Amino acid sequence: MASPPLIALVCSDRHRNGKTLLARVLVDFFLLEGRDPFVLDLGYPEGAVRNYFPGRTALVDFAHVAGQMKVFDTILAGPGRDYVIDLPADQLAKFCEATGDLDFRSAAHHAGFRLAVLYIIDEMEDSLKTAAAVEDILIPDLFVPVANRAIGSALPDGVPGLVLTMEKIDHDLLAIITNRRFSFRAFILGDESGVPMRLRPNLKTFLHGLISGFREFEPALSLLKLRE
């Protein structure tokens, strides 16, 4: 039996801490699982995620009401598939406000979606507090704190529930994987030719940690459902 579609919001209260990188790996994970994800890139006008998935991405200016409606209407008009939203830090408050004003959570549930928030906890203590506030506002079906070892994180050890860790990436490897022609999915499927041998273990460790965590989404959601 197929699992219900997921709306995965990738966000943080800080810039340049790995959100787009995390979103990319998540989209490729869905594709590897035989799913059909669509990406809503709210990083207008640059559109970082769109560069990697041009055929399945909509670049949206969320600063304006028309853009906000486009995001929610696109999702609700296209049920049955997964959506990944790459949300810039400067649009976080507006996103939380808009979802409340439009009662998006209820509408998404009615359409058969579940909502997951992947929140990168930055190194400042305020980031942890903002993450808790966002969880209280959005009330997602699954809230996943993420620690990026490359920048540090205020996330304490021993946090209960599902936690994702982004392992630190070698500088030379980062230059390779940020090239718009690079595909995590192709690498996982065995095409390692674009990555020097000395850098492959680093990338495999990075991907293994995230994908292992992504595979825990369904068990975690099922467990939460049983507790309702």
For residues 217 and 161, give the distance between their C-alpha atoms in angstroms, rounded to a whole number.
11
Question: Domain tally for the chain?
Answer: 1
For residues 23 and 97, give the distance between their C-alpha atoms in angstroms, rounded to a whole number.
22
Q: Does the residue 101 lie in any domain?
A: yes
What would the mean pLDDT of 93-108 be, rounded to a whole number?
95
Structure tokens that stand for 190 in this block = 């065995």
What's the pLDDT tens digit per position in 143-199?
999 999 999 999 998 888 999 999 999 999 999 999 999 999 999 999 999 999 999
Report the mean per-residue pLDDT for the chain: 95
Q: Does the residue 109 lie in any domain?
A: yes
Distances in whole angstroms, Cα of residue 97 to Cα of each of 15, 34, 129, 158: 20, 33, 17, 31
For residues 133 and 225, give the distance between their C-alpha atoms in angstroms, rounded to a whole number.
22
- pLDDT band, residue 222 (cuts 50/70/90): confident
List the helix and strand counts (H, then E) for the chain. Answer: 9, 7
pLDDT at 3: 84
Count CB neighbours of 2 within 10 A: 7
Is-contact 113 38, C-beta < 8 A? Answer: no
What's the pLDDT tens digit per position in 41-73?
999 999 999 999 999 999 999 999 999 999 999
For residues 133 and 127, give the distance between their C-alpha atoms in angstroms, rounded to a whole number.
10
Neighbouring residues of 42: CB distance < 8 A, sequence distance ≥ 6: 60, 62, 67, 71, 85, 86, 87, 88, 91, 95
Q: Does the residue 1 lie in any domain?
A: no
For residues 23 and 86, give the distance between their C-alpha atoms in angstroms, rounded to a whole number.
6
pLDDT at 225: 62
End-to-end CA separation in angstroms for the chain: 21
Q: Does the residue 102 lie in any domain?
A: yes
Spacing of C-alpha 190 from chain mean position: 24
Q: Could you give the maximum distance between any two Cα atoms of the chain, in Å?
A: 51
Q: Which domain holds residue 206?
A: 6-227
Is-contact 44 59, C-beta < 8 A? Answer: yes
pLDDT at 223: 80
What would the mean pLDDT of 105-109 be, rounded to a whole number?
96
Where residue 81 sits, what CATH number does that domain have? 3.40.50
